Structure 1
Amino acid sequence: MNNALAGRRALVTGEARGIGLELSRQLIAQGCTVVAVGRNMQHLNALQSEGGSNVTTVQADLSQQAEIDRLVPLITAEHPDLSILINNAGLQQEMNLFANPAGASIISARQEIGLNLDGLVSLTLGLLPNLAAQSRSSIVNISSGLAIAPKSASPVYCATKAATRAFSQALRYQCEDSAPHITVTEAIMALVDTDMTAGRGSGKITAHRAATEVIAGLARGQPEVWVGKAKMLRVLNRLLPAVAARIMR
């Protein structure tokens, strides 16, 4: 058990499945209590049954601003000791901007922006005073190698992850200046075997491995965690950015 995490309360977003489920399981194993936030009550109930008293579940659609406005005061009131926020919830939709009807592309784009960016930023800002009130706190934003080099099939998803990367960096600067007891970690994901990536790509890593690397980086307070094959992308993009872009495209 890691002393940097034991006894702390963590909020994890993302349906209580895939990476979110593994993050919750591993945080509990490290001695944390978890507040799991997601839309699907079946998944949340399954995690509640598995985690028992170590888990509290909250149903919320983080793509909807009204839901975040409801969630923030609830968390602040019921879990004033919250000291870890993991923004894991995300949506990736492939879209052909020239083959799909414009209206359908706009709807898909708004869904991705709402959850991946607006939801992440709004929840973070809403809970920041609560996190700042603790003696130590951690914010983890799940990003992607596609923030570094985008792929053509998911333009909006890639854009939201690039924005997440920029937000994480700027937030880290402000924390360093005004609240140095808050660490901000960006986890740059490789391709992970989840429901969201079903039928896409190859050479995927397991959600368990991805979560293990994120939790290790969280415990160490790393500013960046390059997960799985994203480590190679980091080096390749530095040395041969045109090659990295071609591969990721």
Structure 2
Amino acid sequence: MRLQGKTILLTGGTDGIGLRLARQLRDKGASLIVTGRTPERIAAAQTEGFEVIAADLAGPGGVEAVVAGLAGRSIDILINNAGMGAEHDFRVAPPVAEDDERTFWLNLHAPIRLIARLMPTLRARGEAMIVNVTSGLAIAPNAGSPVYCASKAALRSYTLALRAQLKGTGIHVLEALPPVVETQMTASRAGSKLAPEECARQIIAAMESGKDEANVGMVRVLRAVYSLSPALARSIMLRF
């Protein structure tokens, strides 16, 4: 898809991968409407010239805030990027139920509900796109973040089915699967991390080329291992 002149709604666009996506998409000539929930980051994004809808998508009110903020305007592309992880490791401490619920809302329920609410305007565009950002952990989970993995695996499954439903409608469905990326969410994690700018670049390249999946960075290796032996891929990832 040619991105110049497209109007894009990007959730979680005031920080991390989302902010880099917003900047690079604007450089491609797209018009961006981003969502955010932290006042300081919203203000910073507005200073950069982005239109921001304040919305906490970790609960049902956030979806309504986004729809109200659009005020009936048409969009060409919906990017469901906003995400979070919950500490859910019994080896460390008992999980917090409220954190689990917010994770499922933000990572799974909000994308599904936004797609449902915005489907009429996407259908009316003739050429449109939905981008769901899942994770390499949607392919094979690790042991330390089962709720995050489960929410992303569920969104991956939904995305595969949605693509089949929308075949021939003019709405392209892209799944983006990042590896561990250098963001605030991963700040406490050791090891190699992909720069968010590079992650955004690879996702946008997949949007432009019409791919069904953007296997970003080391996720390409995981996909290759999984294609040869799902059991081996799961065994490797569950060590982390």
SS at match of 2:2: coil
Deviation for aligned residue 1:124: 1.3
Matched with 2:84 is 91
Matched with 1:202 is 191
Deviation for aligned residue 1:73: 4.1
Matched with 1:130 is 121
1:219 and 2:213 correspond: no
**Distance in 1 (alpha carbons) for counterparts of 2:65 and 2:85:** 25
Q: How many residues were matched structurally?
A: 238
Q: Which amino acid counterpart does residue 176 of structure 1 have in structure 2? A: K
**Distance in 2 (alpha carbons) for counterparts of 1:125 and 1:219:** 24
**Distance in 1 (alpha carbons) for counterparts of 2:201 and 2:15:** 15
Q: Among residues 61, 64, 70, which one is paired with 1:66 in the alignment? A: 61
Q: Which amino acid counterpart does residue 159 of structure 1 have in structure 2? A: A
Structure with greater helix share of residues: 1
Q: Which amino acid counterpart does residue 95 of structure 1 have in structure 2? A: H
Q: TM-score, structure 2 length as denominator?
A: 0.94
**Distance in 2 (alpha carbons) for counterparts of 1:161 and 1:67:** 19
**Distance in 2 (alpha carbons) for counterparts of 1:215 and 1:25:** 11
Which stretches in structure 1 are left out of the alignment for 5+ residues?
none
Q: Which amino acid counterpart does residue 196 of structure 1 have in structure 2? A: M
Q: Which amino acid counterpart does residue 100 of structure 2 have in structure 1? A: A
Asked whether the 8 Å contact 1:117–1:160 carries over to 2, the reply is yes
Deviation for aligned residue 1:100: 3.2
Asked whether the 8 Å contact 2:179–2:216 carries over to 1, the reply is yes
Deviation for aligned residue 1:109: 1.1
In the TM superposition, 1:43-122 aligns within 5 A as 43-50=41-48, 52=49, 55-77=50-72, 79-80=73-74, 82-97=75-90, 100-101=93-94, 104-122=95-113
1:186 and 2:179 correspond: no
1:172 and 2:168 correspond: no
SS at match of 1:222: coil
**Distance in 2 (alpha carbons) for counterparts of 1:234 and 1:196:** 23
Which stretches in structure 2 are left out of the alignment for 5+ residues?
none
**Distance in 1 (alpha carbons) for counterparts of 2:152 and 2:190:** 18
User: Quick one: percent identity of the two aligned structures?
Assistant: 38
Q: TM-score, structure 1 length as denominator?
A: 0.91
Q: Which amino acid counterpart does residue 142 of structure 2 have in structure 1? A: K
**Distance in 1 (alpha carbons) for counterparts of 2:108 and 2:26:** 27
Q: Among residues 207, 231, 238, which one is paired with 1:242 in the alignment? A: 231
Matched with 1:157 is 148
